[in-house]
Structure 1
């Protein structure tokens, strides 16, 4: 079986057996990740990998964690967060209850960054930040708000460039090589698993951030996810995407208007 056909065989069998759906993931990035896993696990091909997973289901969660490749950092793309402060937070301040969805939150850095923005603007007490990811292991890790201290330098640089007003150290405690973010932040955050491929909307939001996730999906799945976000946003709500992502040429392109220089769109009223 040629490599492309083997990938198709694998993702269909994996979905049927374990319920995780990678069928509409971008083939280029999916093949690269599968090749990396084959190398790490020392499997000769995808058939062997599938049979290993079938015979030892405890490996499935490890496989999913590696295939979803959670990577993020706090205040990533500082200009985007500066634009959130300038444009979106004044809009959020008009609501008695603020609901934000961080879709594909990975290990949670972006969710904490957003909570810090809300706190510094006096909005955290009336906000709920929902942070979701397909991978239950990274969701559990994110809920603890604990990060290696060596990551903090990048966090701080991004925070300053994003217009931070209090100093990032005001929001965490350092201890034994790790930092833990303030329980006040965590008290306004809800972490849970959610599969953008198959799950439906679970609330209505004034802001949805899904940054650097859509690039791993093919066009059909991107459209399905963007439809989900459209349904989940309140009228005039905002959608934020990653720097390489866009809604141009999507099925919802005429239902949003671009806002400012960053990857922000507002739902048409």
Structure 2
């Protein structure tokens, strides 16, 4: 028991002895974590483009499909601000141009597919691959604002796995599955605040850094100049005392003139 107490006392003693470096380290770590989270909020993409999937194994040879989808949806993403899911279809040969029926089933009622007027529509698309370039097909998705909401600290994730309709049998396309994250109002406000701060704060921060660098350089140059001047004055004082001791008045007068040039207030 005494050993544990002695070790504890020694630990607290070391902490008190190195309190300032520890506080600086904690401050630097806190700033680094805050900046990393800040940059993650600012740089997070609003949409993500998925990889292209060759459909040969699904009964549609020489056809590629890919999905571009919104990474997040907030309660404000409704009506005209709804997110857009884009299916890109491309045929690798002219013979592969044929319609494909896709279904995007929703796992719950947290999001909904809507038209331009905000009315609900089924999550189905008939796509005709383009040749030689891919053709886009859009489906609007919105926050349904139901009981399936994001929490204050955690988002609600909605995974959508497209299906290919082949006759009456839907075929899952797991490679095209994607996740949309529903944000809380708090998360949306935090991200928008971070973006506004980055938009306005980065130029101000850059200006502050430039001014700080200029001031530091100016003070550094002044300090070097003052040190050089002090060394010159010290050398002249030594030489002047030596000339006076030897009664070399002309040389002493020359040293005094040089001292007056460097230090006009010298008497």
For the superposition of Structure 1 and Structure 2, which TM-score range results when normalised by the shorter chain? under 0.3
Structure with bigger RCO (C-alpha 8 Å, 6+ apart):
1
Rg larger for: 2
Greater share of residues in strand: 2
Scaled by the length of structure 1, the TM-score of the pair is: 0.23
Scaled by the length of structure 2, the TM-score of the pair is: 0.23
